Amino acid sequence: MGLKSRRTNTIEVQNVNVPNYSGRVDATKYADMKQALLRVLPDGDDSGFTQSEMMAAVKPHLSATLFPGGKTSGWWVKTVQLDLEAKGVLQRDTGKPLRWRRS
């Protein structure tokens, strides 16, 4: 899942589109979004989800406490998707529209 900071509840994330980039985000929200994203995305044999399909599909699986009314969930979907893609957990198709699935 990445390295957790001992001082605060954060986790280091990467961005597949920006090599050598890393940043820190809230580890609890990251874990909740990661679980939701991996739950809804099909595996490597299926066609995958577009960005908008991913964003809609995760909302019912998110903690209402962490993401009340789905607020900010779009930013979190993208952050976790880019990180998991950088780590080889997710893959994107190159067709249009772009689609993602579990590796």
> pLDDT, tens digit, for every residue of 38-68?
999 998 777 899 999 999 999 999 999 999 9
Q: Which fold has domain 10-102?
A: Arc Repressor Mutant, subunit A (1.10.10)
- pLDDT, one tens digit per residue, over 69-80 is 877 889 999 999
C-alpha triplet 91, 79, 65: angle, nearest 5°: 120
Distance between CA atoms of residues 19 and 16, nearest Å: 6
What confidence score (pLDDT) does residue 14 get? 96
Threshold 0.75, pTM exceeds: yes
Percentage of the chain beyond pLDDT 70 is 93
Work out the average pLDDT over 30-45: 93
Rounded to the nearest 5 degrees, what angle is found at the Cα of 86, between the Cα atoms of 81 and 88?
95
Partnered with residue 74 across adjacent β-strands are none
Could you give the CA distance from residue 85 to residue 101 in angstroms, rounded to a whole number?
A: 9
* pLDDT of 3: 57
Find the distance separating the first CA and the last CA of the chain, reported in whole Å: 16
Q: Structural domain boundaries of the chain?
A: 10-102
